[in-house]
Every structure is written in structure tokens, then in C-alpha cells.
Amino acid sequence: MSTRHDHGLHGEYYGLGPLDEYPIHQLPRPVAWAGSSDRNFYDRCYLNAHDRTGDLFLITGLGFYPNLGTKDAFVLLRRGDEQTAVHLSDAADPRGADRMAQQVGGYRVEIIEPLHKLRLVLEETEGVAMDLTWEGSFPVVQELPHVMRQGSGTTLDAQRFAQLGTWEGVLSVDGTDIAVTPDRWLGSRDRSWGIRPVGEAAPAGKPADPAFEGMWWLYVPLRFEEFCVVLIIQETPDGFRTLNDCTRIWKDGRVEQLGWPRVEIRYTPGTRVPTGATIVCTTPDGKELVLQVASKLPVPIHVGGGYGGDSDWTHGQWKGPAFTERLTYDMNDPAVAGRVMFGVIDHVGQATIHGPGAGVPEGSEGWGLFEHGALGRHDPSGFSDWFDLAKENS
């Protein structure tokens, strides 16, 4: 005869967990089971914070990989020429309970008010700690679906939302506390889920035909006092735009699409590190809106952040139980500097807005993220292959 305890064991075996008590199911299966059997299914948050000085940039995130049985978190902190990475990894609860209490080791995300306010905590780990509260300045922006294919296969199929806001709390590094106040500290965040390459590399199978020659990526969420702008563009090596999404959200809730932006990226000669960009958008009534964006501090997120091309850390990879480590990079080290052009760089972005479509005083200032990667060939930029670098006046 079955007992309640027996039912609990069966529930665990079959995958039932606490989330199944809520009417949130999207498929005829337990919530803990991903809707796709693809090993690369993931669900991750990304957050950044800075004080507008360009002296430091904090980038962090937490991810779950249910089909790999893992979860992890990372912290990247760039200060001057030094970039510090803290990594945490562990086994994920097969019942999905830890997706309600989002935690990896001493790192946790607490949702205070969904889609508006959250708390980010890192108990002292490898000399780094933080207790920061995020408050959204505007509603979240639901981005267009992001899909990438290689031949007949799908390499990325994701949904995301983004938000601009402010931070308050304390960031501690090696015993030194940094006060974080909302009058100075701001940033952007996003949450994404779906399919993207994670974990250990899978067997390659047949070589790609045609071979992957690269991609051009631009992601610029900006916070102005009266509105926010979230822009995403992706192009193939010949300049064909496969993703174009540019949205402005006002404090009063108005939402505008800003057309098909024209972009000019300015690079440091002899590198692929951008110093800034001119982005020309168009409002729904046909007026020109120009964003002049400058980089205050670059952080290559594939140097210790786990994003594409990182040789030190890969999201979703099994590292054993309760894993932590700290890595420190000298960004002037030729071995580190040589990696930068092969991945995406996140910058503290300072922006001014111009043109008849601005809707605010000419030259009004905004801040946010200026994320760019020119990987491999990109004909419009004059990059002929993976190793071509920017010329003078580019």
C-alpha cells in the first residue's frame, strides 16, 4: 500500500517539483523538464552596473542548464587594466526547486517585484562580495526572437527581455567596500532562455558547408531621463541583416519602433576594439534620431565571462559540486590582448541624442551598455577575414 512518503519518492523520480503546484505549465510534462530535449537548452540572467566614471564595470549573471544538470554564476569586474573573474558552479536540482530560489553557492538572485525590482547577493567568495538592489527605471522591453542556423541545424533560438535601471548597495573586493548609490550607479539587465551553445563541446559531425565566416553584432540599451532605447542588430559577413530591433519606451508607457538604424562604428586603429559609434534611427513619423555613443571602459566578456570564445570558462560545463575559482587578467598582457578580437566586448556606454526625432533637448545625455563584436569577415566594415584589423580613421 502506498504512503504519502512513497508518493514523494515517485514524484521526485518522475521529475515533479514545487513549481508543478502552480498553473504555469506550457507542456504536458513537469515544469523541471525543458520543453526541448536539446542539450543546449538554457535559462539565464545577465546584469551590469557602473558609476558613469569609466573607472569600473561590473558584469554578472546566473544560468540554469536543465538538460546538462548544471547551474552556474559568474562575476566580472574591470578596474583600470585589470579584469577579475569569479566563477561558481554546481549541480542543478532535477526537480527545479532551485529555479524558484535562484542560487549557486553564495550567489543568489532574489526577485522582490517581478519585472521591476530584484536583489543580487554574493556572499564573500574568493575575496569578492556584493549586496545590490536593482530597480527598473522603465518597463521591460521584450526583444524580437533571436535565431541563428548553420545549414539545416539551429545553433541559437532564444527569447529575451531587457531593462534599464539603477543600483543601490555595497560591492566589496578584497576587503574594500564600494558604496553603490542610485544617483550615480546604473546599468542594464536581460533575461534570455532557449537554445544556445553551452556546456562541453558536442561532436562536430559533418563540417559546416559553407564554413562559418563570422558575425557582426551590436547591442545598445541606453537609459535617458525621459525614455530608454534598446537596439539589437546582427549581420552576416556580407552585411545582410538577420536581426533588426530598435525600440524606445517612454516613462508614460509609449512604445516606438525606431526603424532600420544606420550604424558607423569607430575602431582603435590596429584593433577591433571600438571607441564609439554613430547610430542613425528613424521615428515612426519619419524624423531622424541620432545617437552618438562613446566607450568609457571595455570589458571583453569572453575573457573570464564564459561567452563565446572564452578559453577559461564555459557556461553550463560540469566542474564538480560547489565549484568556485577566481581568475585575474592583466589586459595589457599580449596573451590576453590577443584574445579580445575573437569575441564580444561590453563597454560602459555614454551617449548623447540629437536630431528632430530626439523628443528631448539637443545633446541630452544617456548611459548604458555599448556591446559590440565584429567576428571574422564583415564586408561593410572592411574586415576581409578573422585577422584583419581596423585601419587609420576607421
Q: Does residue 33 belong to any structural domain of this protein? A: no
Give domain status of residue 183, yes or no. yes
Q: Is residue 286 part of a domain?
A: yes
What is the H or E stretch that residue 60 is in? strand 56-65
Nearest to 30 by CA among 44, 6, 10: 10
Distance between start and end Cα atoms, the chain: 77
**Sheet strand arrangement including 274-282:** 255-257, 241-250, 227-235, 214-223, 364-376, 345-354, 288-300, 274-282, 262-267
pLDDT at 6 over 50: no
**What residue type is 196 in one-letter code?**
R
Span 89-143, pLDDT tens digits = 999 999 899 999 999 999 999 999 999 999 999 999 999 999 999 999 999 999 9
Q: Give 229-246 pLDDT, tens digit per residue.
A: 999 999 999 999 999 999
- For residue 201, name the pLDDT band (cuts at 50, 70, 90): confident
What confidence category does residue 2 fall into, taking pLDDT thresholds of 50, 70 and 90? very low
- The pLDDT value recorded for residue 203 is 80
pLDDT band at residue 14, thresholds of 50, 70 and 90?
Answer: low
Q: Facing residues of 266 across strands? A: 276
pTM of the predicted structure, to 2 decimals: 0.94
pLDDT band at residue 209 under the 50/70/90 scheme: confident
Q: State how far the alpha carbon of 292 is from the alpha carbons of 164, 209, 226, 247, 278, in Å.
A: 18, 39, 17, 17, 5
pLDDT band at residue 3 using 50, 70 and 90 as cut-offs: very low
Domain around 76: 39-198+213-381
> How far is it, in rounded angstroms, from Cα 322 to Cα 103?
11
Q: Which residues contact 338 (CB under 8 A, 6 or more apart)?
A: none
For residues 29 and 381, give the distance between their C-alpha atoms in angstroms, rounded to a whole number: 47
pLDDT top residue among 66 and 6: 66
Residue 184 lies in a domain: yes
In a domain, 12, yes or no: no
Q: How far is the C-alpha of 23 from the C-alpha of 99, rounded, in Å? A: 16
Inside any domain, residue 169: yes
Q: How many CB atoms lie within 10 A of CB 366?
A: 23
In a domain, 394, yes or no: no
pLDDT band at 149 (very low <50, low <70, confident <90, very high): confident
Looking at this protein, which amino acid is placed at residue 271? T
- CA–CA separation, 107 and 294 (whole Å): 32
Count the domains in the chain: 1
* The pLDDT of residue 393: 63
Instruction: Tell me what pLDDT residue 208 has.
Output: 77
Grid cell of 336 as nine digits: 590576453
Average pLDDT on 38-47 reads: 96
Q: Given this model, what pLDDT does residue 15 score?
A: 81
Q: What is the pLDDT of residue 4?
A: 42
User: What is the grid cell recorded at 11?
Assistant: 514524484
Q: CA separation (Å) from 352 to 42, 234, 365, 367, 372?
A: 35, 23, 5, 9, 18
Task: Answer whether residue 163 is part of any domain.
Answer: yes
Residue 210 has pLDDT above 90, yes or no: no
Q: Is 340 helix (H, G, I), strand (E, B) or coil?
A: helix
Q: Which CATH number is 303's domain given?
A: 2.40.370.10
